[in-house]
Amino acid sequence: MAAIFQGVGAAAPLSSSPSNSFDSNKSVFSPPRSFSVVRSDGIVNLNPKGRSAQRLISNAVATKADSPAASSSSKPGHELLLFEALQEGLEEEMERDPRVCVMGEDVGHYGGSYKVTKGLAKRFGDLRVLDTPIAENSFTGMGIGAAMTGLRPVIEGMNMGFLLLAFNQISNNCGMLHYTSGGQFTIPVVIRGPGGVGRQLGAEHSQRLESYFQSIPGIQMVACSTPYNAKGLMKAAIRSENPVILFEHVLLYNLKERIPDEDYICNLEEAEMVRPGEHVTILTYSRMRYHVMQAAKTLVNKGYDPEVIDIRSLKPFDLHTIGNSVKKTHRVLIVEECMRTGGIGASLTAAITENFNDYLDAPIMCLSSQDVPTPYAGTLEEVTVVQPAQIVTAVEQLCQ
Amino acid sequence: MALSYLRSSSSRSVNLLKPLSSSLPLRRPISTDTTPITVETSVPFTSHQCDAPSRSVETNPKELLTFFRDMALMRRMEIAADSLYKAKLIRGFCHLYDGQEAVAVGMEAAVTKKDCIITAYRDHCTFIGRGGTLLEVFAELMGRQAGCSKGKGGSMHFYKKDSNFYGGHGIVGAQVPLGCGLAFAQKYSKDETVTFALYGDGAANQGQLFEALNISALWDLPAILVCENNHYGMGTAEWRAAKSPAYYKRGDYVPGLKVDGMDALAVKQACKFAKEHALKNGPIILEMDTYRYHGHSMSDPGSTYRTRDEISGVRQERDPIERIRKLILSHDLATEKELKDIEKEVRKEVDDTITQAKESPMPEPSELFTNVYAKGLGVESFGADRKEVRATLP
C-alpha cells in the first residue's frame, strides 16, 4: 500500500523539515508492499490479508506493511509519491493531446503550490500551463469557455475552498451547458484541487466541497486516495467528455506507492474494493480510507471481517459494487470526512436505503465530521474528524 | 436569410435586366449591387486610449437592404414573441431585443462566422444574426422539439455551435469570462479570429468582468468586450447603478470606443476596427449606446422607471430601422413601396413560422435524461440506481 511520512503537514507543502524528506531512498518506513487494486475488468489481487504492521502511526494514514507481494503489473513499476503520480498523469495526458492545458494560481513558474504541476511550464510553455491572477470566478469561467470550443483545460483551485468563488461558473455553466444547448457543447474540463481537513489549517482552508457540489447536475465527482488511483483518475478525467471534479486531499500528497510503468486509467464511475470481507461493508473515500484501514487492523484482531470499499466516485455512486457488497454483508457503515448535514454520506445513505433496503439487517451507520467550522487547535481538530477508534466502536455496535 | 431575400427580390424585379448606375432614377436589381457608397455615421466615435476610426463607412446597396430586411425580421420576431408570451405560449422569462437590432446586424456585417459571439439572455436576435432560423427560435421559445436546444434551454439558452454562437446565458455577467475563454482558445489554436463578448450596462458592474479583462489584457487575448448600454439595468437607470457610466473607459489600461448603437453602420465600423485591434493588440471595449423599447423582460412594463415620452422620443429620432430606411430612400436604392413589401413579406414569414413551430411536438419524456452527460462514457443518468456500471474510456 502506501506510506505516509509522519509530520509532513499540508501547511508547509514545499518545505522539507529535517526529520523527513521526499526522497524515496530515505524512506522512514519499510518499503511499501505493492497493492493490486481493482481495475475495470474486476480482478482483485489482494494477497495475505490480516497481517498488522509493526509500526502504527497514530491519527494518520497508516498502511498495511506486508511482505512484498505481486505487483499489479508484470513489470516492476516505479515508486512515487501521490503528487508525483498526479503530475505524471497530467504530463502524459498533455503530451498525448495538445488540447490539454492547465490553468490555476502558481501552477506555472512556481510549479504548483503542492508541486502537482512541477516542471510542466518549462516543458510545455506558458500558453499551456497558465499562471492566472487570483480570480477564481473568471479563470474558471475562462476554462469553461475554452472547453466549449474543444480545448481540455485542467483548472486548479489552490485549495478547493477557493472554488466557492467560482460556484456560479461551475454550477451554471460547467454543469448545465451540455443540457441547455441541447447537446451542442461538451465541457471536457477537469477541476481539481486539494481539500479536506489538514493539519491545523484553520476553518476556511479545511473545507470539504464535495457536499456542496454533489447536487449539480451534469458534473462527475471523483476522489483519489492512492498514487495508483490518483494517476488513473487524473488521466480518465482528462479524457472524459464530461466535466469532472477531482478531489484531492491535502494530507495525502506524500503517500508513496509503486505504480505500473505502463499506461493505465481508472474508471471514473467505479468504486475500489480495498479489502473484501464478510461481516460489514465499510464505505469510505479519500483520507478516511486510511483511518478505516487502521481500524480494520484492530477489527481483524478482534475477530471481525470488514469489507472496505473506497467509493472513489462521489457522483454518480457506484451502486453496482456497493449493492453487491450490501447483499453479501447486510450491514453498512459509511465513514466520511464530509459534514454530517447534507454530506456525501447522507446521499449515500439515502441511495442505499432506497435501493437495497431489503438486504439490510441493521440501519445504515454514517460517521461524518462534526457540523462545525474546523477549529485551529490540534486537539479540537482531531475530534472534528472521524478517528479509527470511533470506527471500531461503530462496527462493534453494528455487528451486535 | 439573405438568400431568401435574393430569391424573392429577383422574382419581383424580373423585368429589370439591364444593370444601371445608381444615379439613374430607374430601379435596378439592387440585390446584386455592390457599388460602394460612403455614409457618415450619425455621431463621431469617442475613444479611450486609442485612435477612433473614421466616421465614413463604406457600404453598398446590397448590404443596406440586407440590414433593412434583417432588422425588420428581428423586429417582427420580437413583437410576435411578445404576443405569444401574452398568449401564454411562451413562459418563464422572455427578454426582447427590439430597438437594439442595429448592434446584432452591424456586428455580423463586420465579422465572419468563424469569429465567436457570446451574449447574455437577450439573445434572440443575435442568434438570428448568426444564422439561426426563425423556426428554431420560435420552437425553442415554446419549448418544442424543433428548437435550437431541443426545447430544453428556453429563451435564455440559444446556441449555435456551427456558426460559433455561444449563447445565451442567464446569469448576468457570467458570460464574459466564458467569452475570454473562447478568445483564449482562439489564441491557443492560432485561429486569427476574435471573440465578441456582449454584456449590458447592468453587468458592467460585475467583478468577474474586470477579472476577465485583466487576464485577457495580461495574456493578449483577442477578446472584444461589447457593452450594450441600453441605459437601464432592469429598473435601475445607469446613473443609479454606476459611479462612472462611461463604460468604454472602465477598462482603464484597455482601450475603449463609444459607438452609437442605433446606427448599424457605426456598429459595423466599430466592430471592424475592434477586430483588427484585438488581433494585434489584445482586448478592447466597445460601448454601444442603444435602447430597448420593451421593458427588461415581459413581466416588466418598462414604464415605471422611464417615461413613455422618452421611449417614443427615441423611437422617433433614433430608431435603427428608420435610419436605414431613410438612407435607402435618400440614395434611391428602393421605393417606399418596395420597403413596405419587404416588411409585409417578413411579417408573413414570421406568421408562417409561428404556425409551423406550433405544430412541432413537445420533447419526449425520455429527453429529460439525455444530454445531462456526454455520451462518451456511455453514461445516461437514470438516478443513482445504476445496474450497469462497466464503461470503457478511450
Minimum-distance CB partner of B393 among A101, A168, A267: A267
Average pLDDT of A266-270? 89
Contact A149 B186 (CB under 8 A): yes
Task: Find residue A247's DSSP bridge partners.
Answer: A193, A223
From the list A53, A159, A63, A55, the residue with the least C-alpha distance to A106 is A159
Chains A, B: CB pairs < 8 Å: 198
pLDDT exceeding 90 applies to what percent of chain A?
71
Supply the DSSP symbol for B146: T
Q: Which three cell numbers stand for residue B20?
A: 444601371
pLDDT at A325 over 90: yes
What letter does residue B186 receive in the DSSP assignment?
Answer: H
pLDDT at A400: 85
C-alpha cell at B114: 468563424
CA-nearest residue to B150 within chain A is A182
Question: Measured at the alpha carbon of residue B373, what is the angle toward residues B369 and B377, in degrees to the nearest 5?
Answer: 120
Chain segment A276-300, per-residue pLDDT in tens:
999 999 999 999 999 999 999 999 9
**A151-191: per-residue pLDDT in tens?**
999 999 999 999 999 999 999 999 899 999 999 999 999 99
Nearby residues of B309 by Cβ (< 8 Å), 6 or more positions away: none
Chain A residues whose beta carbon lies within 8 Å of the beta carbon of residue B218: 133
A136 is catalytic: yes
Q: Can you tell me the distance from the alpha carbon of B188 to that of B195, in angstroms, rounded to the nearest whole number?
A: 13
Residue of A nearest to B219 (CA): A127
* SS3 annotation, A287-319: CHHHHHHHHHHHHHHHCCCEEEEECCEEECCCH
Beta-carbon contacts of residue A46 (< 8 Å; ≥ 6 apart)? A35, A36, A275, A276
Q: Do A320 and B388 touch (CB under 8 A)?
A: yes
Output the pLDDT for position B30.
59
Residues of B in contact with A351 (CB under 8 A): 384-385
Beta strands in chain B (DSSP E): 37-40, 46-48, 56-59, 116-118, 195-200, 223-229, 232-233, 236-237, 256-260, 284-289
Name the residue among B11, B96, B65 with its Cα closest to residue B292.
B96
Give the Cβ contact number of residue B93 at 10 Å.
15
CA distance B25 to B40: 23
Cell 466520511 sits at which residue? A336
Mean pLDDT by 10 residues, chain B (394 residues): 45 44 49 84 92 93 94 96 95 94 96 96 95 95 93 93 93 94 95 95 93 95 96 91 93 94 95 96 95 92 91 94 94 92 96 95 87 62 42 35
**Cβ–Cβ < 8 Å for A293, A305:** no
Q: For A181, which of B149, B186, B188 is closest by C-beta distance?
A: B149
A71, pLDDT greater than 80: no
> What's the alpha-carbon Rg for chain A, to the nearest Å?
20
Confidence of residue A58 (pLDDT cuts 50, 70, 90): very low
Is position A156 annotated as part of the catalytic site? no
Cα radius of gyration (chain B): 22
CB spacing of A40 vs B390 below 8 angstroms? yes
Distance CA B113, CA A61 (A): 55
How many angstroms separate the CA of residue B168 from the nearest CA in chain A? 9
| pLDDT confidence of residue A11 | 37
Q: Which residues of A348-364 are buried (b: 16+ CB within 10 A; e: fewer)?
A: bbebbeebbeebbeeeb
Determine the Cα–Cα distance for residues B120 and B175; give it in Å rounded to an integer: 6
Q: What confidence score (pLDDT) does residue A24 get?
A: 37
Q: How far apart are the CA of B166 and the nearest CA of chain A, in angstroms?
A: 8
Mean pLDDT of A381-390: 94
Nearest-CB residue to A145 (from B152, B179, B389) = B179
Closest CA to A211 of A351, A336, A47, A73: A336
Q: What is the 3-state secondary structure (H, E, C) of chain A?
A: CCECCCCCCCCCCCCCCCCCCCCHHHCCCCCCCCCCCCCCCCCCCCCCCCCCCCCCCCCCCCCCCCCCCCCCCCCCCEEEEHHHHHHHHHHHHHHHCCCEEEEECCCCCCCCCCCCCCCHHHHHCCCCEEECCCCHHHHHHHHHHHHHHCCEEEEECCCHHHHHHHHHHHHHHHHCHHHHCCCCCCCCCEEEEEECCCCCCCCCCCCCCHHHHCCCCCCEEEECCCHHHHHHHHHHHHHCCCCEEEEEEHHHCCCEEEECCCCCCCCCCCCEEEECCCCEEEEECCCHHHHHHHHHHHHHHHCCCEEEEECCEEECCCHHHHHHHHHHHCCEEEEEEEECCCCHHHHHHHHHHHHHHHHCCCCCEEEEECCCCCCCCHHHHHHHCCCHHHHHHHHHHHCC
| Cβ-Cβ contacts under 8 Å, B181 against chain A | 141-148
Contact call for B379 and A269, based on CB within 8 A = yes
Q: Which of A79, A88, A136, A272 is catalytic?
A: A136
| Other beta carbons within 10 Å of B78 | 25
Q: Is the ipTM of this complex over 0.90?
A: no
Contact B140, B300 (CB under 8 A): no
pTM of the model: 0.81
